Amino acid sequence: MSLKTIRDISLKDKRILVRVDFNVPVDEQGRVTDDARIRATLPTIRYILDQGAKAILMSHLGRPKGKVVEKLRMNDVARRLGELLGKEVQKADDCIGPEVEQAVSRLRPGDVLLLENLRFHPEEEANDREFARKLASLGDVYVNDAFGTAHRAHASTAGVAEFLPAYAGFLMEKEVKALGGILSDPGRPFIAVLGGAKVADKIGVLKNLVEKVNGFLLGGGMANTFLRAEGYSLGDSLVDEEHVEFAGEFLDGVRRRGIEVELPVDLVIARDGDEAATKVVSPREVPEGWRALDIGPKTVERFTLILGNARTVFWNGPLGLFEKDAFARGSEAIARALTRPGIVSVVGGGDTLAVLEKFGLADKVTHASTGGGASLEFLEGRELPGVAVLEKE
């Protein structure tokens, strides 16, 4: 898959309408509490400005559900962006309409205007054609850098491309290259490490990756469901009863194909409601009233040995209840194994990125995807509407 990018056209003096992902965490006063997503798109914005173009930025923030919600205004995002860029960022109080049009007409090359939260209008998520046309009228060229929203067919992520020439920003390009690369041409062995809480969220990824990988390492709450399918009762551990049958069939299918699949051989368990006293046991030995909350040391050893020989690794889903230090060792060990020189490591998922952050490893992996849901849908092999409109013919 190859995308048209902002390097492919002349931007000079043009109005560049850029869909960014500024859906950042904000506090009760609407103040930005984590600016990682703003920083991730700075290379694209700086490039547009350096080319002598006018940047008109648009994003959603939170879930205002089609109405104006004061604390979800983009004011503090504009302030923070201004600090990061080291220049004034103008802010409009709506994303369409006469006042916005006037603000756009006053822009000079090198100026930045941030539009108001797109989702104050219900037409955004409905991908309303007329709304998309109004947004498109603000620019000469459309750039999409919002990989995190690319799995949604909304007016600003897909609809506008009907009215304007569409190009990928650098973040979008980087995401699609990294995720597309491991699906189309991974160095081998290619190992997928999957964990997290629920099997249901990962079924699509498991099914698509069967066609691609040489091995699966399963851990976290999700692995409990697979262990149950193997006949272990697991006490009071989180087990997704509805998917035990799927898990059993999946294991059979994978093994029949000769693909390696590893489940935990030991578990860190704790008594329900008393997480201070922990024990390490085999999957056979989890008593009633106890829960498996991390992979054990033998499992860590096996998993890291396999990762030591891998050339490509995709990781989604923590291997334990990593929010508590007592159950973060498995996730930490996997994260560290992914930083080995020579390995291509791609990590996706909001909580999985939080593991990397917790141990200061976010910039030590090959690619930490900014798109939680989008990266998973991409790895399910699905076409993302926001990416499809950027593809080269």
225 belongs to the binding site for ligand ADP (CB under 6 A): no
Q: Which stretch binds ligand ADP (CB under 6 A): 31-39, 155-163, 165-173, 344-352?
A: 344-352
* 221 is a contact residue toward ligand ADP (CB under 6 A): yes
Residues 6+ positions from 285 with CB-CB distance below 8 Å:
none
Among 64, 169, 186, 220, indicate the residue that binds ligand ADP (CB under 6 A): 220
Decide if residue 350 touches Mg ion (CB under 5 A).
yes
Q: Which stretch binds ligand ADP (CB under 6 A): 80-88, 134-142, 152-160, 192-200?
A: 192-200
Q: Is the Cβ–Cβ distance between 180 and 157 less than 8 Å?
A: no
Among 93, 285, 351, 380, binds ligand ADP (CB under 6 A): 351
Check 52, 66, 253, 373 and give the catalytic one: 373
Reading the block at residue 269, the tokens are 């368990």
Q: Name which of 285 and 351 has its Cβ closer to Mg ion.
A: 351
Segment interacting with Mg ion (CB under 5 A) among 109-117, 133-141, 347-355, 356-364: 347-355
Tokens of 261: 């699949």
Are 306 and 217 a contacting pair, CB within 8 Å? yes
Catalytic position from the list 180, 181, 350, 372: 350
Told to judge if 350 belongs to the known catalytic residues of this protein, a careful annotator would answer yes
Shortest distance (Å) from residue 376 CB to Mg ion: 10
Beta-carbon neighbour count of residue 212 at 10 Å?
17
Q: Which of residues 282-321 bind ligand ADP (CB under 6 A)?
A: 292-293, 316-318, 320-321
**Strand, helix or coil for residue 160:** helix
As given in the structure block, the two tokens for residue 20 are 């960014």
In degrees, rounded to 5, the angle at the alpha carbon of residue 188 between the alpha carbons of residues 187 and 192 is 95
What is the DSSP secondary-structure string of 119-157?
Answer: GGSHHHHTT-HHHHHHHHTT-SEEEE--GGGTTS--TTT
Q: Which of 139, 159, 296, 349 binds ligand ADP (CB under 6 A)?
A: 349
302 is catalytic: no
As measured in angstroms, the least distance from the Cβ of 294 to ligand ADP is 7
Residues 73 to 92 in contact with ligand ADP, rule: CB under 6 A: none
Q: Which is nearer to Mg ion, 216 or 322 (CB)?
A: 322
Residues 6+ positions from 205 with CB-CB distance below 8 Å: 192, 194, 316, 376, 379, 380
198 noted as active-site residue: yes
Which residue among 198, 279, 302, 364 is the active-site one? 198
Is 266 within 8 Å of 281 (Cβ atoms)? yes
Phi/psi class of residue 258: alpha, beta or left (left: φ > 0; alpha: ψ in -120 to 50)? left
Concerning whether 7 is annotated as a catalytic residue, the answer is: no
Among 218, 220, 293, which residue's Cα sits nearest to residue 250?
Answer: 218
Distance in angstroms (rounded) separating the CA atoms of residues 301 and 310: 14
Q: Which of 51, 225, 345, 352 binds ligand ADP (CB under 6 A)?
A: 352
Residue number, 317 or 371, with CB nearest to ligand ADP? 317
Q: How far is the CB of 195 from Mg ion (least distance, A)?
A: 11
Q: Which residues are catalytic?
A: 37, 198, 350, 373
Binding interface with Mg ion (CB under 5 A): 350-351
Binding interface with ligand ADP (CB under 6 A): 195-197, 201, 220-221, 238, 292-293, 316-318, 320-323, 349-352, 372
